[in-house]
Amino acid sequence: MFQPSCHAEREGYSFRAGMCDVLFSVRRVSQFLVLLVFAAIGCGQKAAPVADLASQRQRMVMEQLMPRGIHEERVLAAMSKVPREQFVPADMRAASYTDGPLPIGYGQTISQPYIVAFMTEQLRLSSKDRVLEIGTGSGYQAAILAELVAEVYTIEIIEPLAKSAEATLRRLGYKNAQVKVGDGYKGWPEHAPFDAIIVTCAPDKVPQPLTDQLKEDGRMIIPVGDRFAQELYLLEKKNGRLKESAVLPVRFVPMAGEAGKRE
């Protein structure tokens, strides 16, 4: 679950040459619109109708994802389809498609749409893949994955979040996503090996159990580091070893459970 970075690659994306002013302006406009939405709700007006949220979802894809380099058609289609408003608290739904993370309770957040799309695209998923997610949160990332692969196994250490995510996924018809209450550090060995692993909370190093549960030629994307200095790594398993590349400075909530004990 992503929290905004406190340095130049803020909220998970890089300012690129020639685009800095444009992206900064988009962000300013986005923040202004969020303030207007909250002001409207605070004045007693009704939340945005479903049709308005659907159009906001399409604008999110066109204005937040594509200009920042998300081009994989299946990922864009999933982001266009999954109703993010169903995975945020009811009083936050009007802000569902703003360009940033949102609180979901228990000190956790639903990640910025761009980060969800970016991490998903980096895994280069196929329709036959089996994917492990660590850090279910509200279930939004699991729903995106479920649109793209055969099976999703997702683990959340906070039981109320896990139960709520499971109910939301079932209500929306995602039968290929299984939710487990547990410590993500240990993975889900009963269903291993996995074609891909996505981690949405940050340990101080890559957990060995997750490495062991990744298939040969499989890919893992994971934030690594302490609370204030994290890097998003893309790992590929070749000949039993991990080839790693740092792809983005980020800031996620720390991994709890066994990972916290090992720090």
Q: Is the backbone of residue 87 left (phi > 0), alpha (psi -120 to 50) or beta? A: alpha
Contact between 249 and 231 under an 8 Å Cβ cutoff? The reply is yes
The answer to whether residues 177 and 140 touch, using CB atoms and an 8 Å cutoff, is no
Task: With H, G, I as helix, E, B as strand and everything else as coil, classify residue 130.
Answer: strand
18: three-class secondary structure by DSSP: coil
From 255, 222, 252, 251, select the one nearest 5 (Cα to Cα).
251
Separation between Cα atoms, residue 54 and residue 49, nearest integer Å: 9
Report residue 185 as tokens: 């550090």
- Beta-carbon contacts of 257 under 8 Å, excluding residues fewer than 6 positions away, are 157, 183, 184, 185, 186
Nearest of 83, 90, 30 to residue 54 by alpha carbon = 83
Measured CA to CA, the distance from residue 97 to residue 87 in angstroms comes to: 11
Q: Please name which of 155, 164, 163 lies closest in space to residue 189, comparing C-alpha atoms.
A: 155
The one catalytic residue among 5, 111, 138, 164: 111
Residue 30: active-site member: no
Token digits of residue 108: 């956790």
| Dist CA 211 CA 233 (whole Å) | 13
Catalytic annotation, residues: 111
